[in-house]
Structure 1
Amino acid sequence: MQQYQSYRLSVAPMMDWTDRHCRAFHRHLSRRTLLYTEMLTTGAIIHGDRQRLLGFDALEHPVALQLGGSNPADLATAAVIGEDFGYDEINMNVGCPSDRVQDGRFGACLMAEPALVGACVAAMKQKVRVPVTVKCRIGIDDQEPEAALNALARSVIAAGADMLIVHARKAWLKGLSPKENRDIPPLDYDLVYRLKASLPHVPIIINGGIPSIAAATEHLAHVDGVMLGRAAYQEPWRLLEADATIFGETSPAATMKEAIDAFMPYVERELAGGTRLHAITRHMVGAFHAVPGARAFRRHLAEQGVKSGAGASVLRDAMALVHDAVGAAAA
């Protein structure tokens, strides 16, 4: 784990959001931030179109594959497939609260089965060389959070988990929708801090409701890393600050316009391969913040980017509507 330091900042796995085009865009904003795939089930990976599901551009590194499942043998098989595809980390989802996930006996409901999660981690660790990590909640439903989180943490660490990512909220599997579970259960950062204090040699990453890179630096006084979710996706300009602030390195781009210019060869290559422009630009609607022309940029992409045959010129024309401004978060 000594060479695997990108965990200091990461972008959360988010269904329907963190696909390969999103990750390629984010990589042009930060070289060092660790990126995660959307959750993929073991069944889909073992039996599905692996190239479509798992294929990614080499520029995305470091990038982690998140798996959904609860069968140790299937998770081990899927982990090997992921490692063979070149992923830098295999992560197990023990946090998603959706009904579909519960029906499949994976995600947050596994907080109630720490021994099983440990067995899953052990099975993967036996088969792959890359780090195996777990992303969890602090508990579900009527569980007492401190006891639930400690039981889960100690089980997976005993099994060899290289890192634990904690979304600092409970998941209410009965009564709240997945969307409500992202906001309504209260955050308990102090609980995650206490977990880290009790496990000084284990990388502990905090996630949940963290709005900015500045807020991330405050958490880094207490834990090893911070995972941003919606803040990174909906306001991707924030990632322009990441390399300098978190890693002490130069950003790959000084401004968002510069980053998108550098991203353009990827866009053109994907379009030539049959990808629709909207599949890429849908991840860019929040690219500009408080800049004259940002609304026109979004409108142009919304109206023109969805059309059949839309080309890279649509993105260039949208960029031209944004006024030049000083500051990384602006132009």
Structure 2
Amino acid sequence: MDPKPIADELRAIEGRGPCTDAERRAARAIARRLREMGRRPRTQTVWVRPGNDGALAAISALGVAASVVSVDHAETGLWMAAAALAALVIVPLLGSRRATQWVWAPATATKGSDPIVAVRLLLTCRADAQPAPLAERALARVGLPGPRALLALALAALVAFAAVRTGGTGGTALGAGQLVPTAVCIAAVGAFLDAWVARPGDVAAGPAAALAVLAALDRSPPTRLSPEILVAGPKSMRAFVRAERKAGTNATDVAVVELREGRAGFLRSDGSLVPQRLHPRLVGLLRGATPARRGRSQSPASAARAVRWPAIALEGSADELVELTLGLVAALDRDLAQTR
């Protein structure tokens, strides 16, 4: 199957942001393609709270104001910094829920695979086209935590500095130390504003490659893997994982491979709050074959790793993703044949 026509069809759907009608149209287009391949996809609506980057920018600005005020009015600055830290915890729980979905095409019986020993190979991709914020990419390069985690640390530090100032302590050393979390808050204002105003892109290589890989594995099925496809964002992925765990799926029964557009390579860690190390066994199968990078985004792979499911994220163009994924599947199938 040529992934290019699939990618072109999805790119023609403009404005594929999370929880939008455009995202739902893209999900329906992928489900139609799956039915044409003989699969029986299931669609489940999931209600989630979308991103709150605008509120996070305001919280960051409050942190900057708290730092400035605390120099001359320590108690007021302390309350402002504490309020910003509390808001950082509470804001993600506020706001109206919006509908998104996951589309899941479970495995079908194929010749050559052993249903008793087969591990579920969950090819995962996103129907939306949300761009990766600049701050996440920059932090990943230097190995720092995600922007939300850094903001939480900075606000906690500002609370501590303001508390020290309430006791009458001051001086150049204290002021110099306080500049560090203040600078983090200033940078966070710009980072979250950038993410808030970013428009959806036209990335579509992930779904196109996932469908092409599934078609190739249907023609030549692995012996120890049972291929499935799941179209989900990070929040709908969490809902899917919860449902599967309630149904009795164990971590040893599944391997998640996320496909996304980007520079050719794979991620060895991902996650916007607490970065999750992606599965060492899957990382080991790819090490040396293609470049490895860190990620700091909310992703289906990081959602799977949060509950200890084996997962990895691959990046590239549609053709690169197909080649990379098929190589990983072949290596994993051989590895399972030796160990199971």
TM-score normalised over the length of structure 1: 0.27
Higher strand proportion = 2
Which structure is larger by alpha-carbon Rg, 1 or 2?
2
